Structure 1
Amino acid sequence: MDRQNIDSAQPGRLRVEVRTVGGSELLAPRGELDHHTAELLRAPLDGALDAGRTRLVVDCSELEFCDSTGLNVLLGARMRAEAAGGGVHLVAMRPAVARVFRITGADAVFTLHDSLDTALPG
C-alpha cells in the first residue's frame, strides 16, 4: 500500500491522504475544499488518472466543507475516470457536504457509499 500526504500552505485547511488499496486509489481529504485548496485534491486525482488508476474512492468522512470549486474538481475527475472505463466513488459525506451535492444534483452522477467497506471491493 503506497501512501502520501499532501498539505496546504495553510495548516489545517486541507490535507489529502492518498493510498492504493487493491485496484482503487483511495483519497481522504480532511478539512475545507474550496477555491484556495482545490488544487491539493486535483493534483492527486490527476496523478492517479495519469498513472492509469481509474477507480477513485474519495473518503469524505473528514471533509468539513466543499464549495463549487471543489465540486468541479470532483466532477472533472469523474468525467476523466468514466471516459477511461472507471469511476469516482464518494464515501461517508457529512451533511454540510452532502447538501452541496444534493442542491446541485451532483449526487445523482456519483456513486455514493455510506462506508469504505462498501466502496472498496473486497
Structure 2
Amino acid sequence: MIVRTLQECEQSERRVVAETWESTRMILKEDQMGFSFHITTIYKGTDTHIHYKNHLESVYCMSGEGEIEVVGGKRYPIKPGTLYVLDKHDEHYLRAHKKGDMVMACVFNPPLTGAETHDKDGVYPLVD
C-alpha cells in the first residue's frame, strides 16, 4: 500500500515548479501503478502552451477558473467540477483567469518519472 500526503510531496523533489505552473507528483512511474497522479496549480493570469505527444492526460479542476483552447479548434471554460481529457494528444493552451490560480488533479498515461517539464513545443519527453 502507498500512503502519501500532498503536504509531504510538496516538501520533496516530487514538487516541480515552472514559470506558469507547479506540479506535485504524488504517484510516479517508480510506484508501478501504470499511471501518474499529480496536483497541478496553474498560476493566475498565465497562458501555457501544452502538447503531450507522448502522453494521454485527464484533468479535473478542483478550484479556480480559466479555459482550455485547442490549437485550431474550440475554447472550453474550466471551473471547479470540470473534467477534460486529452485523448488525442491535443495541442492546446491552458489559461487561468486573473482572479486566482487553478488547482487541478491530473492523471498521466504512461506515467511520468517525476522531473519532466515542457520543452519548447509544450511536450513532456517519453522516458523509459
- The structure that has the greater radius of gyration is 2
Task: Quickly name the TM-score band, shorter chain normalised.
Answer: 0.3 to 0.5
- Calculate the TM-score normalised by the size of structure 1: 0.32
Ranked by relative contact order (alpha carbons within 8 Å, sequence separation 6 or more), the top structure is 2
Higher helix content, 1 or 2: 1
Higher strand content, 1 or 2: 2
- Calculate the TM-score normalised by the size of structure 2: 0.31
